[in-house]
A and B are shown apart, each in its own frame.
Chain A
Amino acid sequence: MASLKELKLRIASVKSTQKITKAKQMVAAAKLRKAQAAAEAARPYAQRLEGVVASLASKVGKSDSAPRLLAGTGRDDTHLLLVANGDKGLSGAFNANIVKAAIAHARALIAQGKTVKFYLVGRKGRAVISRSFPGMIVGQFDTAAVRQPGFTEARAIAQDVSDRYFAGEFDVAHLFFSTFRSALAQIPTEQQLIPAAIPADAPAGTGAAVEYEPDEEAILADLLPRNIAIQIFKALLENQASEQGASMTAMDNATRNAGDLINRLTIEYNRSRQAAITTELVEIISGAEAL
């Protein structure tokens, strides 16, 4: 059994850990509210743009003159997996879940004989992916320098990715991020980024004759790159909210576990103190009886 002094030190150390996890939990709760508001504020733009792109895309269709971002390269050999992660740990399984989804997808693609490349956003997950798929990371974007990745970063990522697309580095791009459902549930999500996925239930237009200026294809060519940036931006915002949510939950658990551990250690501490006192008393009494 550990000595009294050891137990005391142990309790003190667990207590200070608990203070840290408690503080981190409160910080995450405050940040979560902000991140959630940001994610909600970004929704109108994404929705409207998606609606416009979908209705234009269903009109232009897969004709030969359709922009390459919509029609694809005509091949399906090289896949780019764009994995968006956080920069910091202490957020439970948030980063691990995204990476796990991406790796599972990559293995499935490799099993089909496709070439897989990774493009990483954020610092986390790099180690795991480079260990599982050495040499397959073709690029990464560091978001650690900015406090809150915004639209500027999303546009820079989109620019980089579409440059690589037009340079013929890949044929299909998938985006991996975590959709924020609630503080308790974040769902790792896969989304096809390039060529633009047209939802099957796309509104086929209201029937009204819409006039286009300059014309459908020119508008589409202008909107598609923007749509990619917006999808990435949305993913970044969802990720931020998810990260804070996961962090809050994980830290709440950690705080509670630390509390349990302190209780157990305190009981043990009191018991061994009592045992020491009892032993001393027994010694004194039996000493007196012997006289």
Chain B
Amino acid sequence: MALHFELVTPERLVLSQDVYMVTVPGTEGDFGVLQGHAPFMSTIRDGALHVYDSNGAAPREIHVVGGFAEVGENGLTVLAERVIED
């Protein structure tokens, strides 16, 4: 079972893939999103998203600035003004 994760900036769709888990730096604290998460909306503070491709895998870090996260039926969507990938 996988979580569909999309990362979008004003310029382009950065990422759209199925992953295991993403941890998001919410304004009121970090939260992890797995498949089947309840509908949820949160603003994000500037910081790093951790993307786990599979259970137990080492996470990838993606830094976002000025973001917003939405969890719906079709997975997690992160809208960010700027993305710094490394």
Contact = CB atoms under 8 A, between A and B. Distances in A.
B11 A213 contact: no
A222 B42 contact: no
B11 to A, nearest CB: 6
B77 A48 contact: yes
A38 B11 contact: yes
Contacts of B36: none
Nearest to A38: B11
Contacts of B8: 44-45, 48
A212 B79 contact: no
B43 A49 contact: no
Contact of B68 (A52, A151, A211): A52
A213 B29 CA distance: 10
Interface string A190-221: 00000000000000001011111110001100
B41 A42 contact: no
A48 B79 contact: yes
B10 A230 contact: yes
A233 B79 CA distance: 15
A194 B41 CA distance: 24
B22 to A, nearest CB: 16
Interface residues of B, number: 24
A19 B66 CA distance: 47
A267 to B, nearest CB: 53
Interface string A139-169: 0000000000011001100000000000000
B9 A45 contact: yes
A211 B40 contact: yes
Interface in B10-61: 10-13, 26-28, 38-43
A41 interface: yes
Contact of B73 (A44, A206, A214): A206
User: Per DSSP, are chain A's interface residues mostly helix, strand or loop, or mixed?
Assistant: helix
A213 B27 contact: yes
A151 B43 contact: no
A169 to B, nearest CB: 26
A46 B13 CA distance: 11
B63 to A, nearest CB: 17
Nearest to A49: B79
Given A48-B77, A213-B27, A222 B43 contact: yes
A212 B73 CA distance: 15
A49 B66 CA distance: 13
Contacts of A42: 10-12
A226 B82 CA distance: 12
Nearest to A55: B41
Contacts of A41: 11-13
A229 B10 CA distance: 10
A14 B32 CA distance: 68
A213 B10 contact: no
A223 interface: yes
A288 B11 CA distance: 83
Interface of A: 38, 41-42, 44-46, 48-49, 52, 56, 150-151, 154-155, 206, 208-214, 218-219, 222-223, 226, 229-230, 233
Q: Closest 10 A-B residue pairs measured CB to CB?
A: A213-B42, A41-B12, A210-B39, A151-B10, A45-B8, A208-B39, A211-B40, A44-B13, A222-B43, A45-B10
Interface of B: 6, 8-13, 26-28, 38-43, 66, 68, 70, 72-73, 77, 79, 81
